[in-house]
Every structure is written in structure tokens, then in C-alpha cells.
Amino acid sequence: MDALGIDVQVLYNSLWLRPFTRRPEVEIALCWSWNRWMADVWKLGENRLRWSCVVPALTPTEAAPQIRFAKEHGAVGVCVRPFERGKLMTAPFYYPIYDEAERLDIPVTVHIANGNPDLFNLLNNEAGGGFSTFRVPTVTACYGLVMSEILRVFPKLRWGFIETSSQWVPWVIHEAVRRSLGGEHPVSRNCFRDYRIYVSTQTDDAFSYVISYAGDENLVIGTDYGHGDTSSELNAISRFKAMEGLNPEVKRKILSDNPRRFYGI
């Protein structure tokens, strides 16, 4: 981390991109096991390794004690999957998770994932695998979030969409603004700022284009460290600092100011 210029690393999981079990009591126990392990990692990392906790999606009413434990032991996010067995993450079924997250001032972090086995198999087998299996559901969930009541139900909660790049953000904003015209709750062009929605970027994103829609206060950057796939950029920080065409103030926001505000660090 010192060599890469990273002050604090926020750890996400790959193990939980898909659900483990259909048995609620087993899922509760697995979540406790994972969260306690990450608490130990945070302690060993002397507060420089922060993390996003996992919660039992089958029984959201059991999530509160795990979120409290996680917040007390270095967690800076509550990780949810965009789809869960036929339910979008905006379903009222999951409101107990969001209620506790808002109360504790800890953001909901939607890492690319797919908790719907049927949708996972369909996208993986018939729609190109990789990108569509995880990223399309995540982008769809963000659009659903912007168009839902949930942002008014939990007006102080922060939301993050992680490891999806950011090229899709202009489409979501444009579509939401257009589809909400004349409705009871029209969506503003500044909806990501107004609704506290943050998105992680990659160094090959078209930043000027994305910023022209989303502004520069709701973008963060990550390395996907320790992960050998197309999202991984071990040297993302140094590459981003060296990019031409972005002024230093915008770079500082994306590298430091925005993630500090989003994670509450």
C-alpha cells in the first residue's frame, strides 16, 4: 500500500458474488463467520484495512446486530447484491438493512454480484457471461434505485456501485430524467449528487463525458487489488495521477475527498 500510494484500502469480497445457501440459519452463521474474520483483518491492519460487511439477504431482520458489530470493528460499508432470488435490492423486504445502515451512518455498497440463480444462469449461458452476469444486474439496480421511493424513505443513506466502471452512468441519468418527466417525483440531472450515489471508475473511463453528467463529487477509484481479472489495475492510483486532461482538483476529489466522504473515513 505504501508503494502504491494508498493510505487506506477498502476490502470487498468475491466469495459473496453469488448466494451460498437457501437455508436462512446457515446464511446467518456464514455472515457472522465472514464478518468476524474481517474484523480480525482490520485489527491486524491497524485501521488501514477497512471493509464492507455482508448481511443475511434471506432474513434482513437479522442483519442489524451484524451491521453494528461490523461498524464497531472497522467496516465502512454494508455490501448487498443488486438482485436476490427474484427481488431487486429496492424491495421493501430489505428495508431493515437500510434502516440500520442509515441509523449508523454507514453506506450501502453494491458490489457487482447476482443473487438470483435463474438470472445468473441465463446471463452466463446465453448473454455473454462475465460482463452481463454481474454488471448488467448492477447497472439495472442503480437505475431502479434512482426511480424508486427508497431514496425518499432513507434520505440520509449513501449508496455505492462498485467495480462496474462508470461509462453507464450517463445513460442511467439521461433515462431517469426523461422517464420521470411529468411524474410526481421528477428526477434531476444532479440526481447522483442529490441522492448520494457514488460509482467506482476505471482509468480508461471517458472521464470528461461521465463528469458532464454526474459531476466530479460522486466518483471514486479502485485497484481491485489481489484480483486477476479485467477490472484489476494494481497501479490505478499512479496511472490516474499521471492522466492528462483532468485538473488536479478533480483528481484529488476522486482519489481522496469523495471516498473519504462516501465511506465516512
The residue with greater pLDDT, 264 or 133, is 264
Question: What pLDDT, in 10s, does the model give residues 61-82?
Answer: 999 999 999 999 999 999 999 9
Query: In this structure, what CATH number is given to the domain that contains residue 84?
Result: 3.20.20.140
Q: Which residues contact 129 (CB under 8 A, 6 or more apart)?
A: 123
Against a cut of 0.85, is the pTM above it? yes
Confidence of residue 120 (pLDDT cuts 50, 70, 90): low
Q: How many CB atoms lie within 10 A of CB 52?
A: 26
For residue 86, give Cα distances in angstroms to 5, 81, 119, 148.
41, 12, 9, 17
Domain count, the chain: 1
Predicted pLDDT of residue 136? 81
Predicted pLDDT of residue 137? 83
Would 228 be classed as within a structural domain?
yes
Would 4 be classed as within a structural domain?
no
Would 3 be classed as within a structural domain?
no
Predicted pLDDT of residue 111? 87
pLDDT at 164 over 90: no
Question: What pLDDT, in 10s, does the model give residues 171-197?
Answer: 999 999 999 988 888 999 999 999 999
Give the structural domain span for 113: 9-263
Q: What are phi and psi of 52, to 5 degrees?
A: -115, 125
Question: What pLDDT, in 10s, does the model give residues 9-33?
Answer: 999 988 888 888 889 999 999 999 9
Would 2 be classed as within a structural domain?
no
Nearest to 136 by CA among 158, 117, 115, 113: 113
Would 138 be classed as within a structural domain?
yes
> Average of pLDDT values for 206-220?
94
Would 113 be classed as within a structural domain?
yes
Q: What share of the chain is helix, strand, coil (3-state, %, to 5)?
A: 45, 15, 40
> Average of pLDDT values for 233-245?
87
Would 1 be classed as within a structural domain?
no
